[in-house]
């Protein structure tokens, strides 16, 4: 059973869906080094547990999804090299192979934007705000901020966020492609759970392969990406789940998928 070892990261398991909540609402769910280590541990646990089919990542309270790293902890690094080699929550979340849905309720600032962008599907509340705010403090994001924004929002919109540090609202994020849906805040988590349950009902090998293939599409030349996709398709086709899917289609019944 997946669980958290610290109060600042909460975990709830509902069948094949795991909800991970950043749980420092009084501090806008800013991430401490201890939370970063716990998220790293959870990333490995989520990957290793075959019962986990889909994940929802959200923030506690009504004000914030995540305000990035807790600024007050950054002075604890004695050298720039120690800072460069820190345990980073963005690195940990990128390692998760299962589909991840971000339920973005309120502020997603700094590393909070990166955390959201690492997720495969992003849903926002109507009060959500997004800001690449690091420039206001004298640095830039280091968890994939520029690459994620450029891919999702386009170069000009990414530059607008990166160079001003000013927030955009949920409707702007939707129009730029940073999020897929916007919902009233009191309906956001229910919608994320609903979507996660749908994904959890799909064959898990195919779902994880689709995620890996989508990421490859951003990093490979087109012809290489096409060959990689065909190889992944072949791997999926050889699974017991694919045979079950074909049988269920023929017999006009729901498939029962076991991740084999």
Q: Given this model, what pLDDT does residue 96 score?
A: 96
CB-CB contact of 211 with 99 (8 Å): yes
The pLDDT tens digits of the residues spanning 154-212 come to 999 999 999 999 999 999 999 999 999 999 999 999 999 999 999 999 999 999 999 99
Report how far residue 152's alpha carbon sits from residue 30's, in angstroms, rounded to the nearest whole number.
24
Packing angle of the helix pair 111-118, 145-153 (nearest 10 deg): 60
Helices (H), the chain: 33-48, 80-84, 89-94, 111-118, 145-153, 155-164, 170-176, 185-200, 204-219, 222-237, 240-251
Structural tokens at position 20 = 């991970």
Pick the CATH number of 204-251 from 3.30.450, 1.10.12, 2.30.29, 2.30.31: 1.10.12
Residue 208: predicted pLDDT: 96
Domain segments of the chain as ranges: 9-200, 204-251
C-alpha torsion 212→218→224→230, nearest 10: 40
Q: What percent of the chain has pLDDT over 90?
A: 85
Q: What's the pTM value of the predicted model, to 2 decimals?
A: 0.94
| Model pLDDT, residue 244 | 94
- CATH architecture for residues 9-200: Alpha-Beta Complex (3.90)
**What's the rounded Cα separation, in Å, for the pair 258 and 32?**
37
Which residues of the chain fall below pLDDT 70?
none
DSSP class of residue 238? T
Give the integer Cα–Cα distance in Å for 52 and 86: 28
Q: Are 32 and 68 in contact (CB under 8 A)?
A: no
Question: CB–CB of 1/80 below 8 Å?
Answer: no
pLDDT score at 171: 98
Q: How far apart are CA 136 and CA 25, in angstroms?
A: 23
What's the pLDDT score for residue 92?
A: 87
């Amino acid at each position: 059973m997946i669980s958290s070892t610290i109060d600042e990261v909460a975990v709830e398991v509902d069948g094949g869906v795991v909800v991970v909540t950043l749980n420092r609402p009084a501090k806008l769910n800013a991430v401490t080094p201890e939370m970063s280590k716990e998220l790293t541990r959870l990333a490995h646990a989520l990957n290793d547990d075959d019962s986990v089919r889909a994940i929802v990542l959200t923030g506690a309270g009504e004000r914030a999804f995540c305000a990035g790293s807790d600024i007050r902890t950054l002075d604890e690094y004695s050298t720039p090299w120690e800072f460069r080699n820190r345990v980073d929550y963005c690195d940990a979340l990128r390692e998760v192979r299962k589909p991840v849905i971000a339920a973005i309720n309120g502020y997603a600032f700094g590393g909070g934007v990166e955390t959201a962008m690492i997720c495969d599907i992003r849903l926002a509340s109507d009060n959500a705000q997004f800001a690449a705010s690091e420039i206001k403090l004298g640095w830039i994001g280091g968890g994939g901020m520029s690459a994620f924004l450029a891919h999702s929002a386009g170069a000009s919109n990414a530059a607008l966020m990166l160079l001003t540090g000013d927030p955009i609202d949920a409707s702007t994020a939707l129009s730029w492609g940073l999020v897929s849906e916007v919902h009233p805040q009191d309906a956001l988590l229910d919608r994320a759970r609903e979507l996660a349950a749908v994904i959890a009902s799909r064959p898990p090998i195919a779902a994880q392969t689709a995620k890996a293939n989508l990421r490859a599409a951003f990093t490979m030349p087109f012809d290489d990406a096409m060959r990689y996709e065909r190889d992944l398709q072949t791997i999926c086709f050889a699974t017991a789940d694919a045979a079950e899917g074909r049988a269920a289609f023929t017999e006009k019944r729901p498939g029962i998928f076991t991740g084999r």
